[in-house]
Amino acid sequence: MGRASASDAEGHRSDGFYQEGHRLRDGAVLVYQRADTSLGGYQARLKVPGVSGYIIRSLKTRDLREALSAAEDLFYSLKAEQKLGMDVRVSGNLKFKELWKKFYAAHETGLSIHRQRLHKGMANKYFIPFFGEARVNDMPDAFVEKYWDWRVNYHNPDNWEDEEDIPVNAARVPAQKTLQMEAQMLRQYFRWGKRIGFVKREPWVKAIKVKHTRGVERRPTFDEAEWKKVYTYLRDWVKETTVTAPSKDGGRLHRSGPNAMHRYQRELLRDYLLFMANSGLRPNEARQLAWRDLRVAKDAENKPALVVDVAPTTKTGERSVVCREGTQVYLDRLKKISRHAKPEDLVFCGYDGKPVDNFNKTFNAVLTKLDLLNDRWGKRRTIYSLRHFYCTQCLLTGIPVHILAKNMGTTIAYIEQHYSHVLTVMQAKELKTKKFKGKAKSDG
């Protein structure tokens, strides 16, 4: 059957909601203009076999002949997509931000807390700002390819109005593994969308390769003198009291210093930092830590050792971590002032018992006051720097790499790669040569 012309269109009416209505394919397709708008563009109302209700689409033209042609093309395209199992009611108009919401709602209960935060964090910060309004039914590969250039330059200081706007833990150039992880997540969304029937064609998603400076990046940490400066300051900081004094003009009394809640927050931060520096836990592992996850075991010399049972919902799963000697003191001190000390309560929580999402802001302020925010190479220190401090100190005290890797939930190769400078110092005795046995012969 040939394509219908404007004069062949079955039926025509201009009353009510529809204006300039033209029916095609025995009424399965209605091309019309809306009577309640002055824009004049044509739309199509389609009844696709096997699909309940009508599908409404804009034809994006004011020319009737073009509209009739586009409506027929759309009708047969939707019939073909429906046979392939696609959800034709939403597939053509579904935006990426809507696809992501549907994906997350379908998978949330099966994701660990860490994965939930990862998916939401990456979507809100990167995926939705770039892809959010784009339609996913047949997203062009070229559009996806543009994401990588946008992403690699996202934290470029030249793109920010103020240096302070850049997050303290943001890498100026993302690591290759980070980009590969993002590509994997995007493929997961599109693949799921295709399987469900929201996506007609899965776009090509592959992370570009980024260039970094030669050599392995050294993690920002503290030396012993710098760390002593931090914990000495914290010791005095938590002792600061509220002072009440009359104002300069002799009027109402003026109070300065921390109130009860602020004092608790200071104590919490101090003990949290000391614990992190002596346990080597990742911030998300400490965030999920409950009092029941702490226990005391006996070592080979029958001496007590604090053991932390890391939750299975963390990045690398469950493991037992042995803390450095003296760590128990910080936790006992915190437990005495905490309002939430039941076995199931979180160790590092606020007044309300909820986990503290981020200690970095206050830690950042402390380091800024002490002129320690950046290390000598200009890299900004964060809470994660305490994990690097822990690793460095353990290596310098002679703890074997394979034991340390297991305790930290990482690999031997990772430690050898990122802490090679520490391992070299450990071999100083062997590297310090005595007098050479023979004198070097002069040239010529």
DSSP letter for each residue of 364-388: HHHHHHTT-SB-TTSPBP-TTHHHH
Instruction: Please identify, among 57, 83, 109, the residue that sits at the C-terminal boundary of a domain.
Output: 83
**Nearest CA among 173, 196, 186, 195 for reference residue 119:** 186
CB atoms within 10 A of CB 194: 19
**Domain range enclosing 181:** 96-196
- Which of 9-23, 65-79, 165-179, 192-206 comes out lowest in average pLDDT? 9-23
**286 pLDDT band (50/70/90 cuts)?**
very high
Q: How many folded domains does the chain comprise?
A: 3
* Residue 4, domain member (yes or no): no
Q: Which pLDDT score, from 0 to 100, does residue 245 have?
A: 59
- Residues 164-173: pLDDT tens digits? 444 545 567 7
Q: Which pLDDT score, from 0 to 100, does residue 3 have?
A: 46
* Residue 439, domain member (yes or no): no
User: Mean pLDDT across the chain, nearest whole number?
Assistant: 82
CB atoms within 10 A of CB 412: 14
- Residues 399-440: pLDDT tens digits? 999 999 999 999 998 888 888 777 666 666 555 655 555 555
Give the 3-state secondary structure of residue 61.
coil
Looking at the fold, whether 361 and 408 belong to one and the same domain comes out as: yes
* Residue 271, domain member (yes or no): yes
* Residue 204, domain member (yes or no): no
Give the whole-angstrom CA distance, residue 221 versus residue 226: 9
User: How remote is the C-alpha of 123 from its chain's centroid?
Assistant: 8
Using the predicted structure, report yes or no on whether residue 306 has a pLDDT greater than 60: yes
- Which of 53-67, 237-251, 289-303 comes out lowest in average pLDDT? 237-251
**33 pLDDT band (50/70/90 cuts)?**
confident
Using the predicted structure, report yes or no on whether residue 253 has a pLDDT greater than 70: no
* Residue 436, domain member (yes or no): no
- 56-65, 114-123, 199-208: which is most confident: 114-123
Looking at the fold, whether 273 and 314 belong to one and the same domain comes out as: yes
Looking at the fold, whether 392 and 341 belong to one and the same domain comes out as: yes
Structural tokens at position 90:
């939403």
Looking at the fold, whether 154 and 237 belong to one and the same domain comes out as: no
Using the predicted structure, report yes or no on whether residue 4 has a pLDDT greater than 60: no
Q: Which pLDDT score, from 0 to 100, does residue 10 have?
A: 46
Q: Can you tell me the mean pLDDT for 11-26?
A: 67
Looking at the fold, whether 269 and 394 belong to one and the same domain comes out as: yes
* Residue 443, domain member (yes or no): no
- Residues 91-147: pLDDT tens digits? 557 889 989 998 999 999 888 888 899 999 999 999 999 999 898 877 888 899 999
Give the whole-angstrom CA distance, residue 263 versus residue 343: 24
Looking at the fold, whether 74 and 109 belong to one and the same domain comes out as: no
Q: Which pLDDT score, from 0 to 100, does residue 297 have?
A: 93
Using the predicted structure, report yes or no on whether residue 270 has a pLDDT greater than 50: yes
Using the predicted structure, report yes or no on whether residue 336 has a pLDDT greater than 90: yes
Strand partners, 55: 46
One-letter amino acid of 301: E
Using the predicted structure, report yes or no on whether residue 47 has a pLDDT greater than 80: yes
Whichever domain contains 377, its CATH number is: 1.10.443.10
**224 pLDDT band (50/70/90 cuts)?**
very high
For 87-191, list the strands marked E by DSSP.
none
308's enclosing H/E stretch is: strand 304-310
Q: Can you tell me the mean pLDDT for 300-310?
A: 91
* Residue 411, domain member (yes or no): yes
Using the predicted structure, report yes or no on whether residue 86 has a pLDDT greater than 80: no
Strand partners, 321: 308
Looking at the fold, whether 77 and 101 belong to one and the same domain comes out as: no
Looking at the fold, whether 114 and 61 belong to one and the same domain comes out as: no
Looking at the fold, whether 346 and 389 belong to one and the same domain comes out as: yes
Looking at the fold, whether 348 and 377 belong to one and the same domain comes out as: yes
